[in-house]
Structure 1
């Protein structure tokens, strides 16, 4: 298996056996919502009720948060994270709005069967 940490939303990995449960891992990422407001100002991106720029920004946020989850798992000595869950929230107050993304899962060691 490579140095890449495997992520799955499932409680198991097909073709692998969990040899050790290490710890719960999480990654928290916060992104300024002004980016999203600026994108919505550009109506030209809206096609069929979808905003490609916003979708790309959300995809980038997810990618960043999952990479942080991989780092956390690697630090625990894991080579996989099972039961991955992503939760998106908006934090607002004082005229500011932010996107808050949390990724959680169980860091494990797995081996091919």
Structure 2
């Protein structure tokens, strides 16, 4: 845990307790005072109280050095707070804005899928790789419901025709889900293609589960002139 409050810089040794910066970030910690005032700013519908708490946190930008994450979060609150009238709390406005952004991102993602390209090879004919962005991974665990007393995948799929078909179908569905997650990762990186897509499958015999992995490289491609 942090040794100081990531907003006001108060040292942990003189803090009676500490609290997570947000629901999403439980690693960075804040002091009781910042926690109380942050809740006030998020939950109040009184414009006077809201401005008072906002001014307190704005002053932290000059009196202390908030962490990058804390600064980014507060700046987001300040921006959304410009529309604060008291009809809804800042917390409600933030949740509404977050939902709006997610919908916009999903719409943009769905539109991008129409031209997104994927290959198991190292490139695409007629295209050049403009940027290599990152190697991306996804892992999944599938319970087979079987007692795996044999060795390897060959033994698994030789167990019975019915069991074979069921497990193949489950693996296929898991691979589809993992592929969609890889596409999301690539899209968020600014890619328009994935190269070197590869799946791996392994058995954890004692746990009667299958481990399925997927990886690829997110890239930006453009047509050859």
Quickly name the TM-score band, shorter chain normalised. Answer: 0.7 to 0.9
**Residue 122 (structure 2) pairs with residue 11 (structure 1):** yes
Runs of 4+ in 1 over 4 A off after TM superposition: none
**Which structure is higher in RCO with an 8 Å CA cutoff and minimum separation 6?**
1
- Equivalent of 1:83 in 174, 196, 200: 196
Q: Which has the higher strand share?
A: 1
- Count of aligned residue pairs for this structure pair: 102
Q: Which runs of 5+ in 2 are unaligned?
A: 1-110, 147-155
CA distance in 1 between counterparts of 2:213 and 2:168 reads 18
**Residue 140 (structure 2) pairs with residue 29 (structure 1):** yes
Q: Which has the higher helix share?
A: 2
Equivalent position of 1:104 in the other structure:
215
Q: Which runs of 5+ in 1 are unaligned?
A: none
Query: How high is the TM-score relative to the length of structure 1?
Result: 0.75
- Equivalent of 1:55 in 163, 168, 174: 168
User: Looking at CA atoms only, which structure, 1 or 2, has the larger radius of gyration?
Assistant: 2
Q: CA deviation at 1:52?
A: 2.6
CA distance in 1 between counterparts of 2:205 and 2:184 reads 28
Q: Report if aligned partners of 2:136, 2:218 keep a CA contact under 8 Å in 1.
A: yes
- RMSD of the TM alignment (CA)? 2.5
